[in-house]
Amino acid sequence: MATIVEVARLAGVSTSTVSHVLNDTRNVEPSTRAKVMAAIEKTGYRQDAVARAMRRARTDSIGLVVSDAGEPAFAEMVHGVEHAAAARGLTLVLANSAEDPVREERAVNTLLSRRVDGLIIARCAASSAAVSSRLESESPRPVVLLDRVFDNSPHDQVGADNRESMRRLVEHLQAAGHRRFLLVAGDQRVPTLVERFRGFRDAIRDADLPQQVVVDAVDMAEVREKVAAALEQGDATCVIASSTPLAVATLECLRDAGLTTPEQIAFAAFDGFSHSDLFRPTITTVRQPAFEMGAAAVSLLIDRLGAPDASPRTLRLNQTLELRESSENYRPGVS
Amino acid sequence: MATIVEVARLAGVSTSTVSHVLNDTRNVEPSTRAKVMAAIEKTGYRQDAVARAMRRARTDSIGLVVSDAGEPAFAEMVHGVEHAAAARGLTLVLANSAEDPVREERAVNTLLSRRVDGLIIARCAASSAAVSSRLESESPRPVVLLDRVFDNSPHDQVGADNRESMRRLVEHLQAAGHRRFLLVAGDQRVPTLVERFRGFRDAIRDADLPQQVVVDAVDMAEVREKVAAALEQGDATCVIASSTPLAVATLECLRDAGLTTPEQIAFAAFDGFSHSDLFRPTITTVRQPAFEMGAAAVSLLIDRLGAPDASPRTLRLNQTLELRESSENYRPGVS
DNA sequence: CTGTTAGCGCTTTCAT
DNA sequence: ATGAAAGCGCTAACAG
């Protein structure tokens, strides 16, 4: 590749003039500019982003660490982040922690070492304290927490209105006549799942319902076991799964138990499945605006670059309650 | 951040010694090494990948351009690429062309300008010639084509055995009694879809079947229109969709036409839906090993770095034919 | 309006 | 076994 020096020589100007033409950073005589453009054309010159980043304070890149690249919801967030970043001329550097704190820490270090202008991260469930302090000490490099938001976080964050959505979902199901629920709540180290659990508790308490069965196992095999046991005991009329993986496990249990939805038991899930309208049963779902969350994280990052000392913001995007067959047609008299 | 100079000063050695300790690139007296390590610890020093890349020929990063980050199959490929790259200490820089040749070209330029060690790209349907020549002139920076492979490509490529898989699928359906198919073939500028179409033709020809109805519209609205019309005419007993988006459109048409699967019409699709076992109808699917394809692309890239002049390789991973309800229970006598 | 030049932080010859 | 020093390609004072 040609360098800026060759372009300058060919155009008969200094490298600084070439640089200024390239970046439009000071006035250049039209004729000079033309000579430079011609030289660029002839040499096939392209700016070297590495050398540029070396000199400047910024790299025009951002890092994203997701906790599970295999989950469709995270794939959507990646898509949203990429879209918003590209729209602002930022390049995306992607890493996946796969819910492993060691890989998470390695990913964060790699990205920081590459001098990304900012970092968006969906912390993994067992995220280490080392990562937290590393992130905090990295100021003024902005960090935005995605999906998994924390109380009193020193960082900007974007999540969903999990607690409120779960409450609305449960209220709807109660109004439809359900009084005995089985909540498949999942790993309670994950803030998102904690929030959903709290929303559930809120709704149960406010409706003066008795205690409900909650499965909060971490391991999926254990989840299946406990859900199966709870179904066997059998007084729940409605099952709620707090995430897609939990919904998969739950649906498998329902199938194994020979329970059909919604005839024998109602079902609802968070995050949901793609193209769910095309298949049966269609499942009542609280849908996360994953793409928008990713895009919003980029916005927060950009805002933060412009105002490093503003106090941290937590953004919560609304989830939508999509009512479908799996929670319909419940007949209180029959239960 | 501390620099290598501060570490050197603190350790009472030269920067070159620190560098050699860091990269384990020449022998260092254990005691010296210890002093350096201590200084690194104390300063919290971390290597600056930008400066490092500036000096060396490599950046230890690879670029990936996907043509549609919203498609689950591509999300899986991204996941596979990330996984394989991370395993080799390579950082992934991600871009999405969204099937837009302008964005594709921009993405390629951005990645090259960042001096990625290699480039993996799923070309978009209307990919411009400018991109082709840009990619070819970038040697010796390796380029691997992903998913969408081309005849006589100067690059390494990894795709699926589309032609053979489609042939197997059609043969299976023929054996089950089907003689009139509707193929929803999609955009014939996309090599993957062309290959699937060819496999279909092969099978029809070898079975001496009459001409079949093929929908090859690009625009999804047009696809729906033509599929609806073909269904109305109504002599097909079996519909095959060549990709997930086409399957979605087709299933909507079937639903709108009031046709149930498999009772009234058989159905099969490529790429498929996630968690398809849990929903009805379960769909006979030719599944693409998307994750593995992404990982394989990284392998090809690495191999190529080691052997820049070997002739280009095309790798075709096997797809699996997953037989499910949507293609069962067809009764020839009734048709 | 344009040119000269000092680095950014690091790796890597070349000496010793 | 270690150090000195020359840049990698670029940007941004500073000077004219």
Residues A241 and A168 in one domain: yes
Which chain A residues are within 8 Å of B54, Cβ to Cβ? 50-51, 54
Residues B153 and B51 in one domain: no
User: Collapsing DSSP states into helix, strand and coil, what is residue B145?
Assistant: strand
Tell me the CATH number at B177. Answer: 3.40.50.2300
Check residue B331 and give its pLDDT. 60
Q: Give the nearest partner residue to A95 out of B54, B86, B280, using CB atoms.
A: B86
Residue A335 lies in a domain: no
Residues A271 and A172 in one domain: yes
Query: Which residue among B56, B80, B100 closes a domain?
Result: B56
Residues A204 and A120 in one domain: no
What's the structural domain count of chain A? 3
Check residue B335 and give its pLDDT. 42
- pLDDT truncated to tens, each residue of chain A (335 aa)? 899 999 999 999 999 999 999 999 999 999 999 999 999 999 999 999 999 999 999 999 999 999 999 999 999 999 999 999 999 999 999 999 999 999 999 999 999 999 999 999 999 999 899 999 999 887 779 999 999 999 999 999 999 999 999 999 999 999 999 999 999 999 999 999 999 999 999 999 999 999 899 999 999 999 999 999 999 987 899 999 999 999 999 999 999 999 999 899 999 999 999 998 999 999 999 999 999 999 999 999 999 999 999 999 999 999 999 999 999 866 554 44
Give this prediction's pTM: 0.95
- Provide the residue range defining the domain that includes A212: 162-288+321-328
Quick check: B314 CB within 7 A of strand D? no
Tokens of B184: 């929803």
Residues B82 and B141 in one domain: yes
Do residue A69 and residue B78 have CB atoms under 8 angstroms apart?
A: yes
Q: Give the nearest partner residue to B51 out of A54, A70, A86, using CB atoms.
A: A54
Do residue B48 and residue A109 have CB atoms under 8 angstroms apart?
A: no
Quick check: A23 CB within 7 A of strand D? yes
Query: A101-137: buried (b, 16+ CB within 10 Å) or exposed (e) per residue?
Result: bebbbbbbebbbbbbbbbbbbbbbbebeeebeebbee
Check residue A234 and give its pLDDT. 76
CA distance B329 to B176: 9
Residues B167 and B271 in one domain: yes
Query: Which residue among A35, A56, A77 closes a domain?
Result: A56
Tell me the CATH number at B52. Answer: 1.10.260.40
CA distance B50 to B54: 6
Check residue A316 and give its pLDDT. 98
CA distance B112 to B131: 12
Nearest residue, CA→C1' of C12: B16
Residues B167 and B284 in one domain: yes
Residues B166 and B284 in one domain: yes
Report the percentage of chain B scoring pLDDT > 70. Answer: 98
User: Would you say A212 and A204 are in contact if contact means Cβ atoms under 8 Å apart?
Assistant: yes
Residue A220 C-alpha, separation from nearest chain B C-alpha, in angstroms: 16
Write out B315-329 in H/E/C secondary structure. EEECCEEECCHHHCC
Restricting to B residues 221-250, those with a Cβ less than 8 Å away from any Cβ of A are: 248
Query: Which residue among A21, A36, A56 closes a domain?
Result: A56
Tokens of B173: 């359906």
User: Would you say A64 and A78 are in contact if contact means Cβ atoms under 8 Å apart?
Assistant: yes
Check residue B330 and give its pLDDT. 63
Residues A110 and A208 in one domain: no
Residue A333 lies in a domain: no
Q: Using a 7 Å CB cutoff, list residues 16-55 of B near strand D.
A: 16-17, 20, 26-29, 31-32, 54-55
Give chain B's residues under pLDDT 70.
329-335
Residues B65 and B108 in one domain: yes
